[in-house]
Amino acid sequence: MADFVAQTIRKAGDWTEAFEACVLTYEDRFLRRKVIKTARGQTLLVDLAHTTSLDHGDAFELDDGNLIEVSAAAEPLLQITGDLVQLAWHIGNRHTPCQIEANRLLIQDDPVIGHMLEHLGATVTQVNEPFTPEGGAYGHGRTHSHEHGHTAHEH
């Protein structure tokens, strides 16, 4: 039995004062029903009506109104620098989640895409940081990097 149960999400900026936190990777922040560990080692059963993409700063709301903050975990990423407009186009064309910043792009550590970007003149560096990519054109823009081609749920 889990220590806590959450069936509701509060979006970042829509809440204050969480009593607990959890640190989740990008993939782990895409969920519907899952047991996760909190920062203090307790268990939280997340049981949402629909599969949801959580952002850094969102919170799980427990039945008693208490909140557990969601933070983005550091994970292996590729830092991309160079002609960011051209490189972002190539990344987006492959439906690859991308964190867009003023002087760099961040993507999940994918050697094939990293190699392709180097051929386009990018400087590709491995980093270990939280990953908070942009939402896409289709809702949250969640596609799984191992799926290629289009599936009905993407549109």
Q: Three-state SS for 85?
A: helix
Model pLDDT for residues 43-77, shown as the tens digit of each residue? 999 999 999 999 999 999 999 999 999 999 999 99
Model pLDDT for residues 88-122, shown as the tens digit of each residue? 999 999 999 999 999 999 999 999 999 999 999 99
For residue 49, give every residue at least 6 positions away whose Cβ sits within 8 Å of its Cβ, in sequence order, or none. 7, 32
Whether the CB-CB separation of 88 and 98 falls below 8 Å is answered with yes
Task: Put residue 29 in one of left, alpha, beta given phi > 0 → left and psi -120 to 50 → alpha.
Answer: alpha
Model pLDDT for residues 11-49, shown as the tens digit of each residue? 999 999 999 999 999 999 999 999 999 999 999 999 999
Q: Which domains does the chain have, with CATH numbers?
A: 4-72 (2.60.260.20), 75-130 (3.30.70.790)
Residue 134 pLDDT: 76
pLDDT category, 142, cuts 50, 70, 90?
low
Q: What is the CA radius of gyration of the chain?
A: 17
User: Residue 104, exposed/middle/buried by CB under 10 A (0-12, 13-18, 19+)?
Assistant: middle
Q: Hunting for tokens 């519907």 — which residue is that?
A: 32
Q: How far is CA 39 from CA 21, 23, 24, 69, 93, in A?
A: 5, 7, 10, 10, 37
Q: What is the pTM assigned to this prediction?
A: 0.81
